[in-house]
Amino acid sequence: MEETMTKPTPLKLRALGAASALALAFSGAAHAQETLKIGVPTAMSGTYADLGNQAKRAVEFAIAEANAKGGVAGHKVEAKILDTEAKPDLARKQSERLALEGYKVLTGVIASGEALAIAPMLDRWDALYVATVTKSDKITGDACVRRAFRVNHQDAQDAAVVKPWLGGRKEQKWAIIGMDGAWGRGSGAGFKEAATSHGKTVVAELYPPLGATDYAAYIQQIKASGAEGLWVALAGRDAVSFATQAHQFGLLANVFTAGVSFVTDNTVQAMGETSKGINGIINYSSTLDTPANKSFAAAWAKHYNGDQPSNFEGETYIGMQVIFQAVEKAKSVKPLDIARAMSGGRFDTILGNVAFRPEDNQLILPNYFGHVAEADGKLRPVVTMSFPADQATPAPSGACKLAKL
C-alpha cells in the first residue's frame, strides 16, 4: 500500500522552523549549564593525609574562584573527594566510583602507585586523569595512556635540576633513602645517575616502606656507610618522622642532607628548627616573583586567612588551571574532548605559559632548587637556583607510546 504524503503549507513550515529553533535553544542552554564534575581520589588519612589535604584545598580554592566568575565557559564546577589512604587498590576503586557517579575528570592523587593503578582504567571509565603530585617517570613513560596528563614535575625533571647542583657540591660519598615505591626508587635512581656522572659514589641505598615509624636501623646504616651527603625522597609523615629521628641521632648535624618533597612548606612547619639548612628541589614556591604567582598567592591568603600556598597546593592549582582552560578550548566537559584540547596544548599558569609534550603528555616546566632558611619571619624553602623549562625538562625517553585520542 502506498503512503499518501501531503505537501506542507507555508504556515506549517514556519511553525516547524520555530519549533526546531526553540528545541535547539533549549538544547544549547542545557549544554551550557552542564556541570563540570571534578573527582578527587586522594589520601585523606594515613601517611600522606597532609598531602591529600593540600590537594583538596587547592581544588576547592580553584573551584570557588571559578564559580565566583560564573563558572568555566558557562559550566558550574563541583568536586567530590574520596579517601584513598594512598593505597593503589583503594585508589582504583574510589576512582571508579567517582567516574560512575559522573565525576570523570580525576585529579589530586598523591602516590605514584595509585596513579599507575588508575591510568589503565581511564578508557573503560570514559574518564580523564590529571596528575598534580605523582612523580614516577613511568606515568609518562612505559605506563603512559592517552587520557592521563601530568602538570607537575616528573622524576626526570627533578634529576635534570639535581645534576648541575650536585656538580658544585664537594661531598663525594652519598647515601640515598627513599620510600619503597615507584616514586622513591625512581628518585633514587635519578640521583644515583646524576652522582655517577660527576664521579661521585653512592655508598648506601635504603628504601623503607610507606608509613614506617622507626628509622633507627636505616639511620645507623647511613652513619656506618661513611656517607658525606644524603639524598632523601620521603614525603608527608614519613619525611617528618625520619627528619626528627635523624636529628636525634645526630645524622643531620654530621651528614649534608638534601632531597625532593622532603622540605616542602608543610613539612618544614612540622619539623621546625630541625629543617633549617636542609637543601632540596623546590617545584613551586609562593615566593616566586611573577605577576601571576603574586596574584594567586594574594588571593589564596585572602581565602585561607593569611596562609601561603604550599608546594603541592601550587602544583594542584596549576592542574585546575589547565583543566579549566582545556574545557574552554574544547567547549565541552566531556573527558575525551578535554583530553584532545590538552594534547600538545599551551596553557597560562602561575609558572608561566607552558605546553604539554605531545609525545607523553608531560607538561614542560621550569624548576627550582634551594634550602630552608628564615624568610619574612618564618622558616620556609627559599629558592636559590632557577632553571628555565627547556633546561629543566629532558627530552622524552621514548618509552611512552600513546594511542590516538
CATH entry, 36-153+289-364, from 3.30.210.10, 3.40.50.970, 3.40.50.2300, 3.30.1300.10: 3.40.50.2300
In tens, the pLDDT along 216-270 reads 999 999 999 999 999 999 999 999 999 999 999 999 999 999 999 998 988 898 8
pLDDT at 22: 44
| pLDDT value of residue 263 | 84
> Residues spanned by CATH 3.40.50.2300 within the chain?
36-153+289-364, 156-282
**Residue closest to 357 by CA, chosen among 164, 154, 188, 190:** 154
Spatial contact of 263 and 275, defined as CB atoms under 8 Å apart = yes
- Taking residue 251's Cβ as centre, other Cβ atoms within 10 Å add up to 22
pLDDT value at residue 378? 87
> Residue 373 — left, alpha, or beta (φ > 0 → left; ψ -120 to 50 → alpha)?
beta
pLDDT in tens, 109-163: 999 999 999 999 999 999 999 999 999 999 999 999 999 999 999 999 999 999 9
The confidence score (pLDDT) of residue 21 equals: 46
Task: Give 222's contacts (C-beta < 8 A, 6+ positions apart).
Answer: 175, 177, 204, 206, 230, 251, 255
Q: What pLDDT is attached to residue 114?
A: 98
Identify the pLDDT of residue 241: 95
Q: What is the DSSP letter of 72?
A: B
Q: How far apart are the first and last CA of the chain?
A: 49
Q: Quick one: 277 exposed, middle or buried, by C-beta within 10 A (0-12, 13-18, 19+)? A: middle
Which pLDDT score, from 0 to 100, does residue 4 have? 39
207, exposed or middle or buried, with CB in 10 Å at 0-12, 13-18, 19+? Answer: middle
d(CA 405, CA 398): 19
Write the single-letter amino acid at 377.
G
SS3 letters for 164-194? HHHHCCCCCEEEEEECCCHHHHHHHHHHHHH
Q: Which residues of the chain have pLDDT under 70?
A: 1-32
Check residue 92 and give its pLDDT.
98
- Quick one: cell of 322? 589547565
Task: Report the residue count for the chain.
Answer: 405
Distance of alpha carbon 234 from the chain centroid: 16
* pLDDT reported for residue 34: 94
C-alpha span between 40 and 401 (Å, rounded): 27
Is the Cβ–Cβ distance between 257 and 278 less than 8 Å? yes
Residue found by looking up cell 519549533 in the block:
19
What secondary structure does DSSP assign to 278-327, as a single string? -EEE-S--TT---HHHHHHHHHHHHHTTT----HHHHHHHHHHHHHHHHH
On whether the pTM is more than 0.85, the answer is yes
pLDDT at 376: 80
- CATH number corresponding to 156-282: 3.40.50.2300
163-176 burial string, b = 16+ CB within 10 Å, else e?
bebbeebeeebbbb
66: cell is 571559578
